[in-house]
Amino acid sequence: MEQLEYQEGRTELAEFGEFPLIERLTDGFTPCNKSTVKGVGDDCAVIGTGDKLTLVTGDMLVEGVNFDMMYTPLLHLGYKAVAIGISDIAAMNGTPRQVLLNIAVSNRYSVEALEELYAGVRLCCQRYDVDLVGGDLATSRAGMVISVTVVGEADANRITYRSGAKLHDLICVSGDLGSAYSGLLVLEREKVTYKANPDFKPDLDGYDYVLERYLKPEPRMDIVQFLREKDIVPTSMIDVSDGLASELLHICHQSQCGCEVYEERLPIDYQTSRVCSEMSSNMLPVSNALNGGEDYELLFTIGQQDYEKIRDSQEVHIIGHITEKGSPAVMVTPQNTTIELRAQGWQQNG
């Protein structure tokens, strides 16, 4: 068969961010089944009819791109693979139920190594009451590739999309931001030192929190439960997998609005600030919070009438508000200057 050539009019992948690229590739796909409630464009696909809707999400982890086996324990990797899928279900205000796990692996890995990986999968499934119901195991020429599909459900009257934010809604985020990226920076620093001197023993004391945030993130199902108990249905929601700036822009794009968030209100843990100061005098904790990613916190908006219900929460922080259509997404500094938010571009590694 004659090989097709695509050189003419070639556009490099690096010129696109991840989500603009997905939008371009999926343009023209329109649902043909009535049961497809929501297709491409949110944290999960939504399928079904009636009072209960089915949520489906998929994630892929590629060795050398999404994880480095030099410092990633297989137990943690298995746990994380399931956790990030559950986080997508949480971002739709839903409940996870089942998981399918597909793995391509080279002969560099032993049976015992895969057992350790699956032990991590089992721990996460047990913690969040999720059933492993299937998957596939294939051969890879090099390294490991993990593909996870998580299935969940949501009440039709409580499901939350990215597209519902309204003028003057409050912008909220759970937990703290930038800590996962700080954990990655610590691991990469120790890796560089070890490669230069194999006798070097990594010193990770005092970094427990940021390391766990990167290696073993926890989906915020507790926040979903908190919102249910307070009878709050967010107007929009997304999980923070690609950094706060990117996720805010997704909500603004889908909801056709702008936003203002306040730098001094961004929740940043002291270990995140410590890592930044150790790495470089020019590295700011707020940059980690805006662009670091992999925190898997929940970013959501609520109507002002729900303010009293969350004002005393230690885990939910109000960081700004939604502005009118056509206005930009900005961060306001303590000096009262505004900085327009921009998403970091998607880059291929390797």
Give the rounded distance of the alpha carbon of 86 from its chain centre: 10
Domain boundaries, the chain: 43-155, 170-340
Domain 170-340 = CATH 3.90.650.10: yes
Q: Give the class (CATH, top level) of 43-155.
A: alpha beta
**Taking the model in full, what pTM does it have?**
0.89
β-sheet with 144-155: strand ranges across: 36-38, 45-47, 52-62, 144-155, 95-105, 131-139
CB 340 within 8 A of CB 261: no
**Length of the chain in terms of residues written:** 350
Pairing of strands 52-62, 144-155: antiparallel
Tens of pLDDT along the chain (350 residues)?
Answer: 445 555 567 877 777 666 677 677 767 677 766 766 666 665 678 888 788 999 999 999 999 999 999 999 999 999 999 999 999 999 999 999 999 999 999 999 999 999 999 999 999 999 999 999 999 999 998 899 999 999 999 999 999 999 999 999 999 999 999 999 999 999 999 999 988 888 888 888 899 999 999 999 999 999 999 999 999 999 999 999 999 999 999 999 999 999 999 999 999 999 999 999 999 878 899 999 999 999 999 999 999 999 999 999 999 999 999 999 999 999 999 999 999 999 874 443 43
CA distance 329 to 165: 13
Mutual orientation of helices 74-91 and 111-127 as an angle, nearest 10°?
30
